[in-house]
Amino acid sequence: MKIHTISVPTPFYIGPVNVYLIAEDPITIIDTGPKTKEAVEALREGLRAHGFRVSDIRRIVLTHSHEDHCGLARSLRDEAKDAEVLVHEWETGHRHGSLEYQEHRALLVRAGVPDDEIEALRRMYEGVRQYADSFQEHEYGPLWDNGELELTSGTLRIVHTPGHTPGSCSFLREADRTVIAGDCVLKRITPNPVLSPDPLDPSKRFPSLAEYLVSLARLRSFAPTMVYGGHGGPVNDYEELFNRYIRAIQERQSQVIKLIPKDGASAWEVAQQMFPGADDVHRFLAVSEAVAHLDLAHIEGKLAYEISGAKDIYRSV
């Protein structure tokens, strides 16, 4: 099974996104790129280089529903006529639109984000949303953990790897222990565990970092020889990357714990100290990162938290 990488530009800080083409029946792409003219052109050019057109695509698989990964899914599906689109059921972004926004808003309030900042984040989010088309409930099929995607030369095993988002999935080719991992594994940066509602109970936060650690360990159990991430080059030494991630997470956790004053603090207050002067999308990612580490410290019994007014206040134990 040959996995071709097509690099597609994005208007985002992260830079180009990797679309993976598996050039055998049924012709499959994993992720799509954002909904921009530049991205469609790059994708067409990349397909053409391997002798294909958009109309040849039979299956569009999404690692997760961030705009840079899923943005073109609907227009590609329309152009390719009956191509199927597959995404994990827990990946609610771009499926329930406004409802999801309300749930996110509630989480930001609990994290102690001030009203004017929430409004600024909402405007920013509206700007980002234009880079993806939304899907209706009947327009996609589900990806299941341990399910299989069949191809001519073998199968790709679906591995649910939550953390970066609740429904993030990776794909394992057991024959040579190759993994396509979306934003679960990135060569140069530690992926951000994005603040999300828990798909099983949207009034709660998804325990993103705790889940992410489980996902990293699960990928490690496959002893992968090569991991293709959502951005940047492939990783041929997963063990080294795994250890680096774990160290980075532990260091960040002790930093976060030290930032908690005697009378406690909200995630927003911690984020302000961790990332002073963060701007643009980084303002949201800063809160996300603070919440993720505070919640993990709480799960591990290193911090306590209580609800004070509408806010969650973390305290030392």
| Residues that bind Zn ion in the complex, under the rule CB under 5 A | 66, 68, 183, 230
Nearer to Zn ion, 66 or 104 (CB): 66
In the bound complex, what is the minimum distance in angstroms from residue 302's beta carbon to Zn ion?
A: 27
182 CB-contact burial (10 Å; exposed 0-12 / middle 13-18 / buried 19+): buried
Which segments of the chain does DSSP mark as H helices, in order? 37-49, 67-70, 73-79, 97-110, 115-129, 208-221, 238-258, 267-274, 281-299
In the bound complex, what is the minimum distance in angstroms from residue 124's beta carbon to Zn ion?
A: 16
Q: Which tokens in the block code for residue 67?
A: 């705009």
Nearer to Zn ion, 193 or 264 (CB): 193
In the bound complex, what is the minimum distance in angstroms from residue 168's beta carbon to Zn ion?
A: 8
Q: CA-CA distance, 83 to 100, in Å (whole number)? A: 27
Nearer to Zn ion, 184 or 313 (CB): 184
Nearer to Zn ion, 70 or 249 (CB): 70
In the bound complex, what is the minimum distance in angstroms from residue 18's beta carbon to Zn ion?
A: 9
Q: Give the sheet arrangement for strand 154-160, strand by strand.
A: 148-151, 154-160, 169-173, 178-182, 226-229
In the bound complex, what is the minimum distance in angstroms from residue 17's beta carbon to Zn ion?
A: 6
In the bound complex, what is the minimum distance in angstroms from residue 121's beta carbon to Zn ion?
A: 17
Torsion angle (degrees, nearest 10) of CA 144, 231, 85, 193: 50
CA of 274: how far to CAs of 107, 112, 252, in Å?
19, 15, 9
The β-bridge relationship of strands 226-229 and 178-182 is parallel
Q: Answer yes or no: are the C-beta atoms of 100 and 153 closer than 8 Å.
A: no
In the bound complex, what is the minimum distance in angstroms from residue 5's beta carbon to Zn ion?
A: 14
Residue nearest to Zn ion (CB): 66
Nearer to Zn ion, 16 or 26 (CB): 16
Q: Which residues contact 172 (CB under 8 A, 6 or more apart)?
A: 156, 157, 159, 178, 179, 222, 224
According to DSSP, residue 107 is labeled: H
Nearer to Zn ion, 91 or 103 (CB): 91
Nearer to Zn ion, 181 or 259 (CB): 181
Element (H, E) at 146: none
